[in-house]
Amino acid sequence: MAVVQDVHGHHDHHPSGIMRWVTTTNHKDIGTMYLWFSFAMFLVGGFLAMGIRAELFMPGIQILEPELFNSFTTLHGLIMVFGAIMPAFVGLANWQVPLMIGAPDMAFARMNNWSFWLLPVAGMLLVSSFFVPGGAAAGGWTFYPPLSAQGGMGVDMMIFAVHILGASSIMGAINIITTILNMRAPGMTLMKMPMFVWTWLITAYLLVLVMPVLAGTVTMLLTDRHFGTSFFNAAGGGDPVLFQHIFWFFGHPEVYIMILPAFGIVSEIIPTFSRKPLFGYSSMVYATASIAILSCIVWAHHMFTVGMPTVGQLFFMYATMLIAVPTGVKVFNWTATMWRGSMTFETPMLFAIGFIFLFVIGGFSGVICAIVPIDIQVQDTYYVIAHFHYVLVSGALFAIFGAVYYWLPKWCGRMYDVKLANMHFWLSMIFFNVAFFVQHFLGLAGMPRRIPDYSLQFADFNMISSIGAFGFGLTQLFFLYIVIKCIRGGEKAADRPWEGGNTLEWTLPSPAPYHTFETPPVIK
Amino acid sequence: MNNTEQPAEKASAMQVAKAVFWSFLGIRKKDDLDRDAKMIKPHQVVIGGLIGGVIFVLSILTLVKVVTS
């Protein structure tokens, strides 16, 4: 991409101390805060995961009482989805979208600050709910009634946390849409935008579509709990299955909200390290839009076992299986991009290839779950746990790691220790598979999810899974060490540390100055 | 928007339908794409996409009806 850029006129003065972070409207500061917040929540969610796996290390109840175990699984899911993965992607968007489209900042800079500062409040509500009478919510991250109609104050705290997180996400999405549509540099037409920007544009529309649905659902739950309504209460004429339909109308697009930006990241990394343009750029854009549309008409595949006419089951089964088509187009395009490329295997590329390899496994087990007669067998078993961890951990999380290793030199102006970073990848790869691959076998053998104890025949695989999970957890502390070591004393990074990087951010100095593209670059 | 290129002529309904159909599959020939990008306006794609979505849902429903009848 040919670029003409005015590099003069930067002024790097900004408030210092704590007030810099509280009052900042700078997209880079806010992006940094999003990323640190999401990592902190990742550690909290990871701690809960370690508790779950410690309890499941052996049969019998050792560490967690059943009620507390249920709270651990519930909060693990909620914190990882709403506190770790989603804010991490918004953080990446904050940093990268303006840099990649040649904009000076996000469109609504003050709202951006507010979007971020809502998050710690919601995070504190979720974490502190463990310490209130009755404990934290324990009805699963999907908080189905009647369980969620029964819990104590912890459930209300969770409802408010979801409200706040939803408001933050909607504001973030509006900001991203407006920035992309109105603030692109001259000459950057929609079809010249980097794929990460495209995937985020489509994700932001999905967020605006479904987050209000979630807000409505939890509000109905709240009024059922405290204001005498009976939306989901059969005794009052309501229907608990209604909750499941509305929840999953939000919940399934939510899955794609967590994976589309990951597709965008991988679509940036693979061409860079293959030293070739992305194969089938336009079909990637089409496939992303297609996946987003399909994601809105498949929700009931999460609830085949609750009772549904055969026509409904078949409809949702066929529609779900069809998502494999545009997803397959993407996997094909990534592979074709690498084909005969001058490939090198720096850390971001390792994570991107790891992503493709493991995401395909998760995708295929998803197609298996889409088949109604099989789903009825594996519903609520560890097979489903294995499936969605392959999509969300080795999918979304690996892409986030790849993105951090790809852009960290640009963010902090220093290069990380590549040997350690590669070790982080291989340890993550090995321990992830040790932890989650065996869960397929547990699920097929019939081990139910969300139980603190299990029959003896599941003992060996559970022990292996727990060892893998502990290893994976410790490896992520190693990631923290690598990042801090890089920030505090890494080698000076070049402006364009990856020779194949052709997007706009690589035209800037490293670290990226506090204010960038005050004079828009001209794309030719 | 910063796209300064003006569409040369208005795209026909059939051309929009074709573009939407291929987008559902996720692939498109380069020449056709370039022609689409010049001629089709964003609002045409959105309307075409919505109609395409309805047709898509109705086709799956029809298939389901045939299978279950």
The range of the structural domain enclosing residue A487 comes to 358-498
Region of poorest pLDDT, from A90-104, A409-423, B30-44: B30-44
Query: How many CB atoms neighbour CB A431 within 10 A?
Result: 20
Q: Where are the domains of chain B?
A: 13-68
Task: Flag whether A489 is in a domain.
Answer: yes
pLDDT digits (tens, 9 = 90+) for A162-213: 999 999 999 999 999 999 999 999 999 988 999 999 999 999 999 999 999 9
- Domain assignment present for residue A441? The answer is yes
Assess whether pLDDT exceeds 60 at residue B3.
no
Picking from A360, A379, A358, A377, the residue whose alpha carbon sits closest to that of residue A436 is A358
Q: Which residue of B has its CA nearest to A314?
A: B64
Residue A352 lies in a domain: no
Global pTM?
0.93
pLDDT tens string A296-335:
999 999 999 998 999 999 999 999 999 898 889 899 999 9
Number of domain units in chain A: 1
- Residue among A210, A225, A76, A230 nearest A160 (CA): A225
The C-alpha atoms of residue A232 and residue A149 are separated, in whole angstroms, by 9
Which stretches within A302-346 are classed as H helix?
A: 310-322, 324-338
Q: Give the C-alpha separation, A207 to A214, whole Å.
A: 10
Which pLDDT does position B41 carry in this prediction? 82
Contact B49/A293, CB-based, under 8 Å?
yes
**Residue A135, phi then psi, degrees to nearest 5:** 75, -175
- Quickly state the pLDDT bin for A3 (edges 50, 70, 90): low
Min CA distance, B26 vs chain A (Å)? 4
Cα torsion A246, A248, A254, A255 to 10°: value is: -170
Task: For residue A5, name the pLDDT band (cuts at 50, 70, 90).
Answer: low
The distance of B14 to chain A (nearest Cα, Å) reads 18
Q: Is A449 a catalytic residue?
A: yes
Q: Which of A235-241's residues contact partners 24+ apart within 8 Å by CB, and which partners?
A: A240/A144, A240/A145, A240/A146, A241/A303, A241/A306, A241/A307
Distance CA B62, CA A84 (A): 41
DSSP A4: E
Residue A259 burial class via C-beta count within 10 angstroms: exposed 0-12, middle 13-18, buried 19 and up: buried
CA distances from A29 to A15, A188, A204, A477 (A): 11, 25, 21, 23
A191: contact with B, CB 8 A cutoff: yes
Q: Identify residue A420 by its one-letter amino acid code.
A: L
As given in the structure block, the two tokens for residue A461 are 């695989």
- How much of chain B, in percent, has pLDDT values that exceed 70? 87
Residue A380 is assigned to a structural domain of this protein: yes
User: What proportions of chain B, in percent to the nearest 5, are helix, strand and coil?
Assistant: 70, 0, 30
Is A421 domain-assigned?
yes
Arithmetic mean of pLDDT, A433-460 = 96
Note if A129 is an active site residue: no
Among A29, A55, A105, A346, the active-site one is A105
Q: What is the amino acid identity at position A131? A: F
Q: Which residues pair with A415 in a beta bridge?
A: A491
With a cut of 0.90, is the ipTM above it?
no
CB A501 within 8 Å of CB A457: no
Token pair 């990268």 is found at A96
Q: Are A88 and A38 in contact, with CB atoms under 8 Å apart?
A: yes
Question: Is residue A74 included in any domain, yes or no?
Answer: no
Which runs of E-coded beta strand occur in A154-239?
A: none
- Could you give the dihedral angle defined by the CA atoms of residues A76, A304, A215 and A265, in that order, rounded to the nearest 10 degrees? 60
Of residues B2, B4, B26, nearest to A325 (C-beta) = B26
Sequence-distant (≥ 6) Cβ neighbours of residue A410 within 8 angstroms:
A99, A493, A497, A505, A506, A508, A510, A511, A512
Residue A311 distance to chain B (closest CA, Å): 6
Give me the catalytic one of A148, A327, A347, A503.
Answer: A327
Count the neighbouring beta carbons within 10 Å of the beta carbon of residue A429.
20
Q: What is the mean pLDDT of chain A?
A: 94
Burial environment of residue B30 by CB neighbours within 10 A (0 to 12, 13 to 18, 19 or more): exposed
Q: Are B1 and A282 within 8 A, CB to CB?
A: no
- Cβ(A169)–Cβ(A145) below 8 Å: no
